[in-house]
Structure 1
């Protein structure tokens, strides 16, 4: 879905992802794909080749957790090398 939205934006059909949705689910995640606070970012560009997204930790006022400027940490792991990679995203 991310690639399709970026295609629509690049072709000028939409200005931003808010043109097709009026909300954004920016929260903790395990598996699937990360949830970025900045649009147009791609997991395929941000994580080194061979790494797969595992989980995301997002700023949370209730537990007094602030990651940079209301951001999040996204962790990926390479199954072959057993190494971890960290990407961070913030406003």
Structure 2
């Protein structure tokens, strides 16, 4: 009985080691996929970054717009006079 018990224990240990190796291998594959995904996202972020000049122009327009809204005639940015005479109610009217 002693040899059978040792043989069973060795077989069980080998099975546990094999299962652990499979889990580690699976996690390594997932890790590689995550690294690839992170590299793709980083590359996309670098390609889509807004150029500094464009950001400065947008900031200048924002400042000019706020200046124009705060005081009449205080801005270099020309704005069209406009108004809305009726707001939509969300109801459909068929004429």
Say yes or no: TM over 0.5: no
TM-score normalized with structure 1 length: 0.17
Q: Which one has the bigger helix percentage?
A: 2
Q: Which has the higher contact order (CA 8 A, sep 6+)?
A: 1
Higher CA-based Rg: 2
User: What TM-score does the superposition give when structure 2 sets the normalisation length?
Assistant: 0.16
